[in-house]
Amino acid sequence: MLRHIAGRIGQAVVTTFGVLTLVFFLMRLSGDPTLLLVPQGSSAQQIAVLRHQLGFDRPLIVQYVAYLQQLLQGNLGISLVQRMPVASILGGRIPYTMELAAGSILVALGIGIPTGLVMAVWRGSLLERALAAVVFAGQSMPTFWSGILMILFFGVILGWLPTSGVAGLPSLIMPSIALGALSMASFARMTRIAVLDELSRDYVAAARARGLSLGATVARHVARNAAIPVVTVTALEIGNLLAGAVIVETVFAWPGIGQLAIQAIASRDFLVVQAIVLFVSFVFILMNLLADIVYAVIDPRIRFGH
């Protein structure tokens, strides 16, 4: 078990390093940020002085090594635009994004898994077809469009919920639903497929032959065996929620890292963009690592490589 976990941690470290390296060089090759920071009409000498002060006149490999050294010390650098520590900027935005992601995953899990379970158990019924239409709509509708529709209906017409900003729990409802809709559809589809696959197995027929009801069979046997693919989707969807937060946070003026990413990319604030990508990548990798550990707990065969 420990060997299995150690191997996954090693893979996570290598993946994080690879993502950091790729993003660093791609961002540096996209253009010179010095030109965005100097006033219009600045002379070539003034531009060169600022470039030297910021260290952008050094070879890329030298900049990269210096960045890694700072990162190992917990220093993400100073924002080129805001002139503040990048760690402080992210520290003020991450809690809002995590709050939105938590609300979204609650919506996705709370609706998606029961929906998929009902669709599998009552396969072919009118209820399944109705729920399938809901799942299809949630999967097909872009988040920005569903967000705008909710703002128009629940915020403007009915006046039930705030249309933007952070104003307590009510302001979290619409962004969470808009962001969680796609994940809800993924959970519903995956749960339905996994449960249907388990219901076709011999042990289900044996349990029913012993007199267990369908509900008891699903609760006692099917749910556990169908959990592994659902765990996979959960790990991936949490990372996808952070990536999708860029659009939702922009629509609802939510002050998280998604909105910060748009601003940093527009101004070529390289260090802020790097820090955001590193954070999102770390969450992706951490969720997959946790998924691997949960696999080994749910199915002991995985830890032994069978």
**Domains in the chain with CATH codes:** 2-72 (no CATH), 93-303 (1.10.3720.10)
Spatial CA neighbour of 171 closest among 180, 161, 181, 179: 161
- Check residue 92 and give its pLDDT: 86
* Mean pLDDT (whole number) for 159-178: 83
- Check residue 248 and give its pLDDT: 85
Residue 31's pLDDT band (boundaries 50, 70, 90)? low
- Check residue 189 and give its pLDDT: 84
* Mean pLDDT (whole number) for 62-69: 84
List, for residues 81-126, the tens digit of each pLDDT value. 777 888 888 888 888 888 888 888 888 888 888 888 888 888 878 8
Q: Considering the chain, what percentage of its residues have pLDDT values greater than 70?
A: 90
Distance CA 161, CA 253 (A): 14
Distance CA 71, CA 251 (A): 32
List, for residues 208-260, the tens digit of each pLDDT value. 777 777 777 777 767 777 777 777 777 777 777 776 677 888 888 888 888 88
- Name the more confident of 284 and 306: 284
CB 77 within 8 A of CB 67: yes
C-alpha 80: how far from chain center: 26
Kindly state the tokens that stand for 175.
């962004």
- Check residue 306 and give its pLDDT: 47
* Mean pLDDT (whole number) for 264-271: 77
Distance CA 199, CA 218 (A): 8
* Mean pLDDT (whole number) for 146-167: 84
pLDDT of 303 > 60? The answer is: no
pLDDT of 302 > 70? The answer is: no
Alpha carbon of 65 to those of 25, 70, 78, 158, 190: distances in Å? 12, 9, 16, 55, 43
Mean pLDDT across the chain: 79
